[in-house]
């Protein structure tokens, strides 16, 4: 993608606008100046013409100029009586026939530009000729070289000033943009200084004090905090997973190494092999759990609908042997079992099995694990799997669904759990648009509540409850 520069864009638009304003201002100003100049020029022309007219006198029936005043030699004029008789002429005869006569205003005479005014049939009330007032035509022209060169100088000066102003303005604008965007660069620099090892990020004070940058800075801070939390979670998971796997391998390895050392009887070897096999099964279970967790967390939501009974009943049956071994009963109320819920049969089976296994492991012998299904006001179903175990301490509650978390460490080791069962359950429930939470009264047991949407209920965008 082509990269664009905000700085350049702002500068170009700003200069373009300034250029248009400056050029139109320049044009307007110059036009006005020119008009004023021409008006003054014409006024002078008319003044000179009036002076000329005033000096016409009648001498024996002949009109003529009294005591011809010196007219500047480069001014042209002619004065003609109505009869066509030339009274006075300054310039050549050509003036009479020339286009000047027909188109007064601007003309070229002997290579020079002139501007002229022609007054036709001006009556002279004071000078009577044969009983009627004399009538004359007067044309007067002055060279425009002076005012033209003056105007040219004006144009050059104004244009120079305008261009200079535009250049200066561009420089100042560029400096202002660079200075104005400095906090943004600063922010970017701080952000780019971060990596997986160094999460320290502080919005520069200058950026925080900038109205436009403060929201970006705050958003970045929050984003980084969230990323760091997620990153830390993943890092802890990898570390925990590594610890579990290495321990599992250490067990297998040490079992075999013990078997290798010293002679044993046949039954002794058989015992050793059985132990090694048990260790391997445990490692296999750990790997399976971890892979299941990874696949359930790999995203996507399931849309399938199933009958609650199809996943719940087989799961309870599956755990019958374990329950018997631990001397714990599983009791279930049968209401709502025929209901349809949103959730994949296989995935829900894993959920029930994991939660039930957890409940069984925390139950004292002779106790009962109850599976209770309730309908909520918004037509969702809530499955509560409760045990009569020791319950969960308040400080452990927020962590029970975390991967590898074991509230009661020493006992969990004995029961052979890895602390992944509830994490898998949570991940699968959320994938099926449900939610999972844990209620507990210390000393009186815990209850895992799984809320599943039904096709009749409205599914909220994010059904997870924490």
Instruction: Give residues with Cβ within 8 angstroms of 248, minimum separation 6.
Output: 279, 282, 283, 286
Q: Is 141 left (phi over 0), alpha (psi -120 to 50) or beta?
A: beta
251 lies in the binding site for another protein (CB under 8 A): yes
Reported residue count of the chain is 466
Q: How far is the CB of 411 from another protein (least distance, A)?
A: 9
Give the residue with the Cβ less far from another protein, 127 or 278: 278
50 lies in the binding site for another protein (CB under 8 A): no
Count of residues that bind another protein according to CB under 8 A:
24
| Interacting residue with another protein among 94, 113, 243, 444 (CB under 8 A) | 243
Q: How far is the CB of 293 from another protein (least distance, A)?
A: 19
| Interacting residue with another protein among 121, 257, 265, 321 (CB under 8 A) | 257
Structure tokens at 257: 């190494």
Q: Which 126-165 positions form the footprint of another protein (CB under 8 A)?
A: none
Task: Give the binding range for another protein (CB under 8 A) out of 219-227, 331-339, 371-379, 408-416.
Answer: 408-416
Q: How far is the CB of 246 from another protein (least distance, A)?
A: 4
H/E segment holding residue 48: helix 6-54
- Distance, in Å, from the CA atom of 145 to the CA atom of 141, rounded to the nearest integer, reads 12
279 lies in the binding site for another protein (CB under 8 A): yes
Indicate if the alpha-carbon torsion angle 59, 60, 64, 67 is positive or negative: negative
Q: How far is the CB of 431 from another protein (least distance, A)?
A: 30
Structure tokens at 291: 């892979």
| Interacting residue with another protein among 36, 66, 106, 247 (CB under 8 A) | 247
Instruction: Give residues with Cβ within 8 angstroms of 383, minimum separation 6.
Output: 308, 312, 352, 371, 372, 373, 449, 450, 451, 452
250 lies in the binding site for another protein (CB under 8 A): yes
Task: Give the binding range for another protein (CB under 8 A) out of 35-43, 105-113, 304-312, 405-413.
Answer: 405-413
264 lies in the binding site for another protein (CB under 8 A): no
**DSSP single-letter state for residue 364:** P
271 lies in the binding site for another protein (CB under 8 A): no
Residue 445's Cα: distance from chain center in Å? 51
| Interacting residue with another protein among 2, 179, 200, 414 (CB under 8 A) | 414
Residue 49's Cα: distance from chain center in Å? 73
Give the residue with the Cβ less far from another protein, 261 or 458: 261
Structure tokens at 47: 């003044």
| Interacting residue with another protein among 145, 249, 393, 465 (CB under 8 A) | 249
DSSP-assigned beta bridge partners for residue 115: 106, 142
Q: How far is the CB of 260 from another protein (least distance, A)?
A: 9
Task: Give the binding range for another protein (CB under 8 A) out of 90-98, 258-266, 291-299, 332-340.
Answer: 258-266
2 lies in the binding site for another protein (CB under 8 A): no
Site string for another protein, 181-220 (x = CB under 8 A): ----------------------------------------
Task: Give the binding range for another protein (CB under 8 A) out of 67-75, 200-208, 352-360, 409-417.
Answer: 409-417
Q: Which residue has the tokens 């006001």?
A: 377
DSSP-assigned beta bridge partners for residue 52: none
- Distance, in Å, from the CA atom of 141 to the CA atom of 100, rounded to the nearest integer, reads 9
Q: How far is the CB of 225 from another protein (least distance, A)?
A: 24
399 lies in the binding site for another protein (CB under 8 A): no
325-329, Cβ contacts within 8 angstroms, sequence gap of 24 or more: 326/360, 326/361, 326/363, 326/365, 327/365, 327/366, 328/360, 328/363, 328/365, 328/366, 328/367, 328/368, 328/369, 329/367, 329/368, 329/369
Q: How far is the CB of 294 from another protein (least distance, A)?
A: 19
Task: Give the binding range for another protein (CB under 8 A) out of 208-216, 241-249, 290-298, 450-458.
Answer: 241-249
Instruction: Give residues with Cβ within 8 angstroms of 24, minimum separation 6.
Output: none
DSSP string for 5-28: -HHHHHHHHHHHHHHHHHHHHHHH
Phi, psi of 57 (to 5 degrees): -130, 160
406 lies in the binding site for another protein (CB under 8 A): yes
Q: How far is the CB of 231 from another protein (least distance, A)?
A: 17
Give residues in contact with another protein (CB under 8 A): 239, 242-243, 246-247, 249-255, 257-258, 261-262, 279, 282, 406, 408-410, 413-414
């Amino acid at each position: 993608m082509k990269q664009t520069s905000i700085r350049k864009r702002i500068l170009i638009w700003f200069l373009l606008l300034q250029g248009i304003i400056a050029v139109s201002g320049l044009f307007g100003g110059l036009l006005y100046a020119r008009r004023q100049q021409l008006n003054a020029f014409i006024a002078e022309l008319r003044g000179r013409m009036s002076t000329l007219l005033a000096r016409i006198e009648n001498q024996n029936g002949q009109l003529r100029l009294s005591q011809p005043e010196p007219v500047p030699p480069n001014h042209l004029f002619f004065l003609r009586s109505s009869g066509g008789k030339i009274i006075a002429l300054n310039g050549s005869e050509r003036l009479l026939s020339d286009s000047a006569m027909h188109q007064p205003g601007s003309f070229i005479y002997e290579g020079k530009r002139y501007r002229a005014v022609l007054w036709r049939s001006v009556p002279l009330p004071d000078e009577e000729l044969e009983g009627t007032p004399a009538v004359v035509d007067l044309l007067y022209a002055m060279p425009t070289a002076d005012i033209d060169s003056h105007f040219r100088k004006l144009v050059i000066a104004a244009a120079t000033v305008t261009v200079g102003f535009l250049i200066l303005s561009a420089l100042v604008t560029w400096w202002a943009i660079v200075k104005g965007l400095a906090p943004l660069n600063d922010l970017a620099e701080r952000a780019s200084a971060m990596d997986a090892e160094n999460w320290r990020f502080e919005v520069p004070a200058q950026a925080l004090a900038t109205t436009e940058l403060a929201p970006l800075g705050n958003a970045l801070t929050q984003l980084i905090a969230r990323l760091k939390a997620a990153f830390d979670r993943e890092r802890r998971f990898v570390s925990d997973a590594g610890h579990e796997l290495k321990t599992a391998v250490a067990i297998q390895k040490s079992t075999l190494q013990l078997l290798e050392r010293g002679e044993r009887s046949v039954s002794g070897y058989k015992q050793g092999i059985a132990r090694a096999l048990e260790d391997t099964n445990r490692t296999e279970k750990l790997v399976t759990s971890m892979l299941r967790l990874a696949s359930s967390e790999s995203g996507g939501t399931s849309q399938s609908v199933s009958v609650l009974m199809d996943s719940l009943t087989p799961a309870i049956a599956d755990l019958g042997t374990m329950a018997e071994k631990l001397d714990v009963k599983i009791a279930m109320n049968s209401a709502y079992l025929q209901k349809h819920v949103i959730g994949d049969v296989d995935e829900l089976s894993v959920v029930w099995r994991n939660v039930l296994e957890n409940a069984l492991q925390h139950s004292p012998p002779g106790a009962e694990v109850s599976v209770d299904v309730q309908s909520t006001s918004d037509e969702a179903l809530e499955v509560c799997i409760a045990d009569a175990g020791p319950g969960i301490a308040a400080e452990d509650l927020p962590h029970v669904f975390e991967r590898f978390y074991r509230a009661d460490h020493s006992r969990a080791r004995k029961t052979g759990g890895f602390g992944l069962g509830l994490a898998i359950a949570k991940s699968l429930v959320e994938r099926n648009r449900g939610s999972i939470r844990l209620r507990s009264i210390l000393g009186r047991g815990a209850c895992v509540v799984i809320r599943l949407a039904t096709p009749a209920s409205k599914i909220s965008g994010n059904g997870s409850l924490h």
